[in-house]
Structure 1
Amino acid sequence: MPSKKKPVTSRPPKSSTAKDSPYVSYDQLIQCVDALKKWTQLGDNERKSGDKKPLFADIEDSVVRLQINHKKTLLNKSTYIYGISLPNHWRHELSADYETCLIVKDLQKTPLSDRDLDLTETKNHYREVLSKAGADQLVTEVLPMRELRNEYKLYEAKERLSKAYHVFLCESQLLRNKFDYLPTFLGKSFWITNRKVPLPVDTASPSLKQDLESRLNQTQLYLSGNGDSSAVTIGICQE
């Protein structure tokens, strides 16, 4: 006796809602950004909410950070740095106030008897390289290695240096890996406290200006095994 087949009923496809996905949707992200933009355009009286302290009251240009929670914690406490390109970097908002420092090799392997002349020749050489590439405006200060070694030996001096500029760049030959002399010399102030490890660039590249702009348009994500979350700067709220 032939078996009776059950009629096949077509079920409507399950609609994907925001609750079904563990990720923030693009529309929700746009709503958050729009709300933040509206807040920055409000006047002082409109921002006050009773006796509550105004948001970002203590900071003139508040930094916006994205917090990332890790599914797995790194096995060791080494620091890993990842560059993330931003389509609209906040350095364009600061314009002239955004200061950069380029750490370079010494022009003369053997230092000249005149220390000031030695440093001036190195700085002028790299300023000329930047000028020919049309990238002179992208670098605020050129810092030779000999000046770095002599003037910033103490921890306090390195701490002041790390806070003096928004971002540091260096010749790619000086930072091939974290065990080279430069990253070892910079130490805790650049790696942990202020997280401003120099970004390597090739000053001999024919596309030096594009390479510098690409580096400056990045934000750095520092990952280590010290916790299950990290934060990366993605912008500022400039009033």
Structure 2
Amino acid sequence: MVSVKQVVPKHPKVKNIKKTSKVEKVKKTNLVKEGVEEQCMQQKLHKVVPQTAVLKPVVKKKVKYAMPSKSITENLVTSCLNALQQLAVHYQKKNTIFEDETPIFAEIKCIKIQNSKGAIKFILPHSTVATTGEICLITPDLKKGRKVDHEPTVDHWEDKLKAAGVSAVKTVLPMRQLRVEYDQYELKRRLLTQHDFILVDTRVLNHVSHLLGKIFFKKHNMLIPVRINEKGNLKKDIDIGLRTAMLRLNEGATSAILIGHTGMKLTHLKENIMALVKQLQEKYPGGEANIRSISLKFPLSLSLPLYLTLRSSSVVTAPKLKHKKPKHFTVVEDELSTILGSTVRVAPDGTVHVKKSKDSLSDEENMDHDGDNEEAEQKNDSGNDE
């Protein structure tokens, strides 16, 4: 048999197409798996934390609060006074029988309270006394003594006031007459109700305040100091006294000051308020930065706001009220004979401070322990005797 070779058919030529072989595919898949495994191992070893967005700190802008001297303008004061005038008409309808001139007060609230009590004197451009007000002047005696008559001093000061042209002062009260005739509480109360304005000479101010007591400090137009110079201009001194207003600072945060009455002109009231705001910068404890609010009001009415701030207390420094000491104010200090090693300080106002040394304190403690031991021994002896 003869074998015949089969004819292999010829395939048509195909373009060169790159085909990935199975080996290459396997290699690629193995490489991908290996890369993923390496990444997981690195995360486990190094504990890679995904990167988060870094937040920038928020910077707070500093808020600038306006001071009363800059925020209180004349237009604002006029609008507040117009509203106060309408409020006065509302209150006059209730009391139609009495049409007296009602006083107007400026109420001031502080942020931080001062360290001690006291009073601040403000001089306003216009007088705050009503037209029908009774004014009293307390003067020093010409001759000191218990049996000396006070009528010559009254005549002396009345002649001085008439010569100077002062017609506002109705009654003159010498120091001796005040001690003799107003020694009871009811008489002092009558003196308070009979007069609307009491001026006191600065030479006898401390004595008068001790004699009359704290009742007179509750009213704003009582015990106003006046420097009277007989050889100088007496009318000018009295006029300055009538234009002074006292701001009594108590333990609380609110305080009020008299600035006028309803019988005054609006322009005069406006000038008094603006002058008060200017003087608060220097005289108010802690400065005007310590003022929380200023408002206008009647004695028994709602307050109309004139100034208000939200300033925090951390910005304000602790206010301190300085008391003016007289020229001859000296403190005497010496050793104390009753307690060894201690000293005593005595002030002109009568305050006494005792300073004890460490040795004296230790001796007192030892004495206390010895006394306790003696009492215990006496108790034991009494128990044994029984």
Same structural fold, with TM-score higher than 0.5 when normalized by the shorter chain: yes
Task: Choose from 123, 142, 145 the match for 1:107.
Answer: 142
Mapped contact 2:220–2:258 kept (Cα < 8 A): no
Find the residue that maps to 1:161 and give its secondary structure: helix
Q: 1:171 to 1:20 in 2, by over 3 A?
A: closer
The answer to whether structure 1 residue 161 and structure 2 residue 229 are counterparts is: no
Counterpart contact for 2:140–2:174, Cα < 8 Å:
yes
For each residue in 1:82-123, what CA deviation from the matched residue of structure 2 results, as whole angstroms up to 9, or x when unmatched? 2222223343xx33x12211111222323557xxxx232111
AA aligned opposite 2:72: S
**Could you tell me whether the CA contact under 8 Å between 1:98 and 1:166 is conserved in 2?**
yes
Inter-partner Cα distance in structure 1 for 2:110 and 2:162: 43
For 1:160, the aligned partner's letter is R
Offset at residue 130 of structure 1 (A):
1.5
- Partner residue, 1:64: 104
Return the offset for 1:163: 2.1
- Aligned partner (choices 47, 55, 72) of residue 91 of structure 2: 55
Extract structure 1 runs of 4+ deviating beyond 6 A: none
Q: Unaligned 5+ residue runs, structure 2? A: 1-63, 265-386
**Match of 2:203?**
173
1:133 aligned partner: 164
Cα shift readout 1:116-144 (whole Å, capped 9, x = no counterpart):
xx232111111112222222x13110001
2:120–2:247: 8 Å Cα contact kept in structure 1? yes
Match of 1:88 among 114, 126, 132: 126
Cα pair distance change 1:89/1:38, threshold 3 Å? farther
- Alpha-carbon shift at residue 212 of structure 1 (Å): 0.8
Q: What SS is found at the alignment partner of 2:192?
A: helix
CA distance in 2, matches of 1:217, 1:200: 11
Amino acid at match of 1:187: G
The partner residue of 1:36 within 67, 84, 91 is: 84
Change (3 A) 1:83 1:124: same
Distance of 1:25 and 1:104 partners within structure 2: 40
- 1: CA distance, partners of 2:227 / 2:169: 12
Structure exhibiting the larger radius of gyration computed from Cα positions: 2
Contact map agreement 1:189 1:195 (CA 8 A) in 2: no
SS at match of 1:55: helix
Equivalent of residue 191 in structure 1, options 217, 240, 244 = 217
Separation in structure 1 between the aligned mates of residue 137 and residue 150 of structure 2, nearest angstrom: 14
TM-score by length of 1: 0.70
Alignment of 1:218-233 (within 5 A): 218-224=244-250, 226-233=251-258
Q: 1:206, 1:22 → 2: CA distance?
A: 40
Aligned residues: 194
Aligned partners of 2:227 and 2:261: how far apart in 1? 25
**Structure-2 change in CA distance of 1:111 and 1:203 (3 Å):** farther
Residues 34 and 87 of structure 1, relative CA distance in 2, 3 Å threshold: farther
When residues 25 and 122 of structure 1 are mapped into structure 2, their CA distance, relative to the original with a 3 A threshold, is closer
For 1:161 and 1:65, the matched residues in 2 are separated by 23
- String of CA shifts for 1:10-33, please: whole Å, max 9, x gaps: xxxxxxxxx963644312112112
Q: What letter corresponds to residue 138 of structure 2 in structure 1?
A: I
Which of 1 and 2 has higher RCO (CA within 8 Å, sep 6+)?
Answer: 1
2:66 matched residue in structure 1? 21
C-alpha separation in 2, matches of 1:193 and 1:171: 18
Query: Identity of paired residues, percent?
Result: 28
Cα contact 2:199–2:222 (8 A) shared by 1 = no
TM-score (norm 2): 0.45
Please state how far the C-alpha of 1:214 moved relative to its aligned partner: 1.0
* CA RMSD in angstroms, aligned pairs only: 2.7
- In 2, Cα distance between equivalents of 1:121 and 1:216: 26
Aligned mates of 2:127, 2:141 — CA distance in 1? 31
